[in-house]
Structure 1
Amino acid sequence: MDFFYNDPDAVVDDTLAGLARIAPIALTARDSAFRIAIDRERDPACVAVISGGGAGHEPAHAGFVGQGMLTAAVAGDLFTSPSVEAVLAAIRATTGPAGALLIIKNYTGDRLNFGLAAERARGEGYAVETVIVADDISLPDSVAARGLAGTVLVHKIAGHAAASGAELAEVHRQAEAAAVSMASIGLALSSATLPGTTREARPPELGLGIHNEPGVREVAPADAREAVALALAPLLDKTGDAGLAGQPCAVLVNNMGGCSTQEMHVLLNEVIAQAPDGLIETAVVPAPLMSSMNMHGFSITLLALDDTRRTALAAPVAAIGWPGACDVQAIEGATLNQPADSADAAGAQDASMAARMAAVCQAVVADRKRLDDLDAAAGDGDTGTAFARGANAVTSALDGERLSTGEPARMAREIGDILARDMGGSSGVLLSILATATGNALADGEDLAAALAAGVARMQHHGGAARGDRTLLDALCPALDVLADTGLSTHGWQQAAAAARAGAEATADMRQAGAGRAAYVRADALAGHVDPGAEAMVTIITAVADGFGQQ
């Protein structure tokens, strides 16, 4: 299986059922002729705000049903408009004397089915108004603009007006005004995958709709910055047509279904950074709002703001699909109350020691890709990157003569500080403990071999790993055993490097890790792969043997 669906034909009903478990909605029975979600707490004295359309755009539209947004949502099959009878049933179920507003995306099926339902409802005596949302600006002027994620902003504005007790004419006016004061455009790296089908291979495209139709042109952004620039430029060109020129705006960066949370925040940051100063005042929290199944893409909507819309967007709602809106602000730097650094000036310098340390760091950086590849076999592929980051930080300190290379105990503790601050991850903390504890032991008069053994003991104490747990200790401990026996001679370091190599190689036969992230990896994924942390220690100890044989 590629997706967590049951029967492809039951995806829409299963999706609505999952929503109904947690949302403030009543849902029509699965075996009924209609799929309608209705606000359980609706006020019958207020204007009913109704929307809907084909499924596959979740959380639209049922996720926006709740006090302060939609009164009801009508769902069709995937990317297929609901029937006239379904829309009419929703009107009858929710509309009182105050009347109803239908919010319709500008697609032929939605316009026809919702429009005919409105006419029939009027014939039955209901007060019904409609608003068409056509916020897509990617198509030529000769082609009718589609309704995109800006529809959700109309839901919010109309829903707030209705919940505030406004009459139908005012709810309709606010919705119409919002619909013509916005502009949207989408960009995607891939198409969507409908349940039971395979994904169509398509290149990145600009100007997509929400029904998996191709974009207006192919694009090739190199990164998020270029992707946002490609989408934002035509939006800004259209600001005059949408009534946005010279006005502060709200921005909605919509996840079309396949973007990660990290991607969405990167995209939002880029939109705000690239927009003209002062243009974007409010941002909807980036989220899937009007998705296209699992399409790996986003859309940007700009909405001109006035006091009424600011209030509407900020108002809380019961609908669980609305993520909230926030004022845009400059990034404020945090002030940290750090203790005064008593070691601003490094201690004694030893050029020979500095050169040897630099050689060790250079060896680690050179081994980055190989270590990352080793880690990728059963981990997240970043061991080499982490060790290289630590080595580069130490190199920077050496270049700036910020390490006390002539005072081994002080230098070891300084290296511990650097690794804890700059290397990151568990490996950075563990090696920082090793370096710090080794420095403390050297300060107490221990020789290097004994000091390193003391550092390893503290690292084991805090980290919880032991030899045989498939960690860097499986290379480090055998090396230290050799140094304890042979001393810090050239021959001793060479033998230590050989022992480290043998210890690392032995990890390939260890089917279970006792500590670290590898402890969560199944045995068959570990088999035959040398532990990357142990291999990193081989790189370090070998470099030490090459450059520190004579003490």
Structure 2
Amino acid sequence: MALHKHLVNSADTLVVDSLSGLCAVNNQLSFDPPSKVVYKTKLDRSKVALICGGGSGHEPSHAGFVGEGMLSAAVCGSVFASPNSSQVRRGIDLVENDAGTLILVKNYTGDVLNFGLAAEQYAAEHAGKSDKVKFIVVGDDVAVGKTQGGMVGRRGLAGVVLVYKIAGALAAQGASLDEVYKVAQWVSGRIGTIGVGLEHCHVPGTAVPSSHLEGSEIEIGMGIHNEAGNKRVSPIPPLSELIPTLLDYITSTADAERGFLPFKNDGKDQVVLLVNNLGGMSELELGGIVHATREELGKRQIVVSRIIAGTFMTSLNMPGFSLSLVLLPRADEADAPKAETILSLLDAPAQTPGWKWSSGAPPVTPTPLAPAASDSAKKAAASGIAAPQPADFIAALKRACEALVAAEPEITRMDTIAGDGDCGLTLKAGAQAVEKEIEAKNITGTDLVADVVAIAKVAETAMGGTSGALYSIFFSALAQGISASAGGKPTTATPELWSDALSAALTKLYTYTRARPPSRTLVDPLAAFVSEYSQGFAKAVKAAGEAAEHTQDVDAKAGRSAYVDAGVLRGEKVPDPGAWGVKTILEAL
């Protein structure tokens, strides 16, 4: 994983450049470059101000949460380094108000010391307002046990963002400093977070680290500053195994080292779930993580009242994620806010770039509807058009499927150069789906129209994408051509029938694609095969193979390679992956 490459002007100016860009996006913000403080331009000084901050590299934290309904200011240090007390003091001065200021920091020594020093300096210089600045340290990590954490306590991870949101919404409603402090302090003690990384991140401007995770490893319990986790796991487990392990860290009360939260595990625990992208995880994977976590919480009879997912607290570009749970109060808990109050504060609108949309309601499981019957879903009447030797026909199809599966790595390699890297996997998926249709006796060689229609449906559903659509159109048209060539009468397929049907199918395909040979697409070998078919099957296959080989010398006029530098393709001498797939099929047949 090449995590050490970055696009910057200079590592030295990166933080200021980034914060300047943020303020360009969000025009309700102002920026003080010398102190690296981002703050609301129009402050309502009758309401409590909230300040957060810490090292940069965790974007959108911290400055991305400054705005209406959330934070008043964020003080930013260099990457993974706490801002100094002078910077923090400048932030306090910028948001000074009549209602008071609450400072929220993650539990890291530098942040606690520098933000705490600034708060004490302010109090010392403003004796009359010494009670107007309050301080909360949020530690939510459950990876480090109580003994190891000792007096330092739990590290601050993504859970702090939920404290920002809840406290910020309460302050926006006009609550007093004591009220905001009390709720924020209570929530910070009810959060558990655990992180997982596929690899460590890289700080711009520093040497490439020598320590890496192996390709088959993940690290559980990683911090957000490249701190090592508490264990590595290999091979990488599926989410169905990984997520239960992670949730055990947060919810278990049997583990004396990590029973940080008072879960009762009696079917009545109620939580808010935050699934956080650590910077390099795809949205596709993140959605799967949300699903797996929600499913596992359901199995444990833990009620999920809200799910919030997205990129909130990153570790630069770390490919990984963290799970946070807020254990909501029960109705009989003394000195606790109401669960409904916590949820309403989470649901309150926030005009900040960093806070993601959430539904404002518990998740629901969609109820699948029974498919409606349709004429197209009914089995078509038998055409009576059969292969001369059905067993040979099926054997040939199996050979083609096996050949495509075997060729997947090579076709994938070609497509990583000439396209988007998925052609081999797409063809393999189609081949395996055809094999299943053969096993299910849905393709038998005794009804060629039905067989070819079945293959067309496989191309549509199992393959997808451009290749799937082209194959599906061609085979659908081929089924029509077979029926038309037979004149609607039962018969045994002849080479002449196949020739007419193939020509008709290619003509129909041409109405949906502009590709014509030579175009460096699958059309090149397909057209060569169809045009030579009347001269004999073997000669047609040879022509198709030559056309596929020739695509390495052809400038792309259509398809995946049309967007790739022609010089790269000529230098690599890579044939078109789709054309190679057609060659593979025909030679196996």
Q: TM-score, normalised by structure 1?
A: 0.91
Counterparts of residues 330-341 of structure 1 (less than 5 Å): 330-333=365-368, 336-337=371-372, 339-340=374-375, 341=377
With over 3 angstroms needed to count, the CA separation of the structure-2 counterparts of 1:46 and 1:278, relative to structure 1, is farther
Say if 2:144 is the partner of 1:139.
yes
Question: Which deviations, in whole Å up to 9, do the C-alpha atoms of 1:288-324 show, x marking residues without a partner?
Answer: 2111112222221110121111111111100110113
Say if 2:520 is the partner of 1:470.
yes
Cα distance between partner residues in 1 of 2:382 and 2:88: 76
Find the residue that maps to 2:543 and give its secondary structure. Answer: helix
Residue among 305, 322, 340 paired with 1:307: 340
Question: Which deviations, in whole Å up to 9, do the C-alpha atoms of 1:106-150 show, x marking residues without a partner?
Answer: 122211222222223333133111111011122232422111111
- Supply the AA of the counterpart residue of 1:330: T
With over 3 angstroms needed to count, the CA separation of the structure-2 counterparts of 1:392 and 1:51, relative to structure 1, is same
How many Å apart are 1:354 and its aligned residue? Answer: 3.5
Say if 2:112 is the partner of 1:78.
no
How many Å apart are 1:48 and its aligned residue? Answer: 0.6
Higher mean alpha-carbon deviation, 231-240 vs 525-534, is at 231-240
Find the residue that maps to 1:8 and give its secondary structure. Answer: coil
How many Å apart are 1:95 and its aligned residue? Answer: 2.7
Cα distance between partner residues in 2 of 1:421 and 1:219: 35
- Supply the AA of the counterpart residue of 2:177: L
With over 3 angstroms needed to count, the CA separation of the structure-2 counterparts of 1:278 and 1:540, relative to structure 1, is same
Find the residue that maps to 1:183 and give its secondary structure. Answer: strand
Aligned to 1:212: 226
How many Å apart are 1:105 and its aligned residue? Answer: 1.4
Question: Which deviations, in whole Å up to 9, do the C-alpha atoms of 1:320-362 show, x marking residues without a partner?
Answer: 1011334223254355546232316766576334444334333
Aligned to 2:273: 251
With over 3 angstroms needed to count, the CA separation of the structure-2 counterparts of 1:251 and 1:472, relative to structure 1, is same
Higher mean alpha-carbon deviation, 245-254 vs 310-319, is at 245-254
How many Å apart are 1:41 and its aligned residue? Answer: 4.1
Cα distance between partner residues in 2 of 1:214 and 1:394: 46
Say if 2:183 is the partner of 1:150.
no
Find the residue that maps to 1:49 and give its secondary structure. Answer: strand
Cα distance between partner residues in 2 of 1:418 and 1:187: 37
Retained in 2: the 8 A contact 1:191–1:199? no
Say if 2:567 is the partner of 1:524.
yes
Counterparts of residues 107-122 of structure 1 (less than 5 Å): 107-122=108-123
Retained in 1: the 8 A contact 2:418–2:560? no
Say if 2:202 is the partner of 1:193.
yes
Aligned to 2:252: 237
With over 3 angstroms needed to count, the CA separation of the structure-2 counterparts of 1:328 and 1:221, relative to structure 1, is farther
Say if 2:529 is the partner of 1:479.
yes
Counterparts of residues 23-422 of structure 1 (less than 5 Å): 23-30=26-33, 32=34, 34-123=35-124, 124=126, 125-126=128-129, 127-142=132-147, 143=149, 144=152, 145-200=154-209, 201-203=211-213, 204-225=218-239, 226-237=241-252, 240-246=259-265, 247-275=269-297, 276-305=299-328, 306-326=339-359, 327-333=362-368, 336-337=371-372, 339-340=374-375, 341-343=377-379, 348=384, 351-352=390-391, 353-403=393-443, 405-422=445-462
Cα distance between partner residues in 1 of 2:263 and 2:38: 34
With over 3 angstroms needed to count, the CA separation of the structure-2 counterparts of 1:102 and 1:345, relative to structure 1, is farther
Cα distance between partner residues in 1 of 2:353 and 2:451: 55
- Supply the AA of the counterpart residue of 2:398: A
With over 3 angstroms needed to count, the CA separation of the structure-2 counterparts of 1:6 and 1:393, relative to structure 1, is same
Retained in 2: the 8 A contact 1:180–1:243? no
Find the residue that maps to 2:568 and give its secondary structure. Answer: helix
With over 3 angstroms needed to count, the CA separation of the structure-2 counterparts of 1:362 and 1:324, relative to structure 1, is same
Question: Which deviations, in whole Å up to 9, do the C-alpha atoms of 1:216-244 show, x marking residues without a partner?
Answer: 33333513424434432211225853234
Structure 1: which 5+ runs fail to align? Answer: 487-491, 545-551
With over 3 angstroms needed to count, the CA separation of the structure-2 counterparts of 1:373 and 1:338, relative to structure 1, is farther
Structure 2: which 5+ runs fail to align? Answer: 329-338, 487-496
Cα distance between partner residues in 2 of 1:191 and 1:337: 50
Higher mean alpha-carbon deviation, 475-484 vs 377-386, is at 377-386
Aligned to 2:537: 493
Retained in 1: the 8 A contact 2:65–2:352? yes
Retained in 1: the 8 A contact 2:273–2:308? no
How many Å apart are 1:449 and its aligned residue? Answer: 0.7
How many Å apart are 1:408 and its aligned residue? Answer: 3.1
With over 3 angstroms needed to count, the CA separation of the structure-2 counterparts of 1:391 and 1:209, relative to structure 1, is closer
Retained in 1: the 8 A contact 2:30–2:40? no
Find the residue that maps to 1:9 and give its secondary structure. Answer: coil
Cα distance between partner residues in 1 of 2:544 and 2:583: 6
Cα distance between partner residues in 2 of 1:118 and 1:261: 39
Aligned to 1:6: 9
Aligned to 2:333: none
Aligned to 1:513: 556
Question: Which deviations, in whole Å up to 9, do the C-alpha atoms of 1:5-28 show, x marking residues without a partner?
Answer: 111001110110111111244333
Retained in 2: the 8 A contact 1:74–1:87? yes
Cα distance between partner residues in 2 of 1:202 and 1:404: 52
Question: Which deviations, in whole Å up to 9, do the C-alpha atoms of 1:454-499 show, x marking residues without a partner?
Answer: 1111112202210110111211222222223x2xxxxx11111111
Cα distance between partner residues in 2 of 1:100 and 1:498: 80
Higher mean alpha-carbon deviation, 228-237 vs 335-344, is at 335-344
Retained in 2: the 8 A contact 1:56–1:293? yes
With over 3 angstroms needed to count, the CA separation of the structure-2 counterparts of 1:57 and 1:362, relative to structure 1, is closer
Cα distance between partner residues in 1 of 2:537 and 2:501: 16
With over 3 angstroms needed to count, the CA separation of the structure-2 counterparts of 1:334 and 1:86, relative to structure 1, is farther
Cα distance between partner residues in 2 of 1:388 and 1:191: 33
Higher mean alpha-carbon deviation, 146-155 vs 258-267, is at 258-267
How many Å apart are 1:412 and its aligned residue? Answer: 2.8
Cα distance between partner residues in 1 of 2:519 and 2:168: 59
Find the residue that maps to 2:451 and give its secondary structure. Answer: helix
Cα distance between partner residues in 1 of 2:248 and 2:36: 39
Retained in 1: the 8 A contact 2:347–2:358? yes
Q: TM-score, normalised by structure 2?
A: 0.85
Retained in 1: the 8 A contact 2:521–2:559? yes
Cα distance between partner residues in 2 of 1:538 and 1:206: 46
Aligned to 1:547: none
Aligned to 2:547: 503
Report % sequence identity. 34
- Supply the AA of the counterpart residue of 1:543: A
Aligned to 1:439: 479
How many Å apart are 1:391 and its aligned residue? Answer: 2.6
Count of residues in Structure 1 that have an aligned counterpart in Structure 2 = 535
- Supply the AA of the counterpart residue of 1:536: G
Aligned to 2:490: none
Higher mean alpha-carbon deviation, 390-399 vs 175-184, is at 390-399
With over 3 angstroms needed to count, the CA separation of the structure-2 counterparts of 1:376 and 1:283, relative to structure 1, is same
How many Å apart are 1:284 and its aligned residue? Answer: 4.3
Retained in 1: the 8 A contact 2:520–2:557? yes
Retained in 2: the 8 A contact 1:192–1:199? no
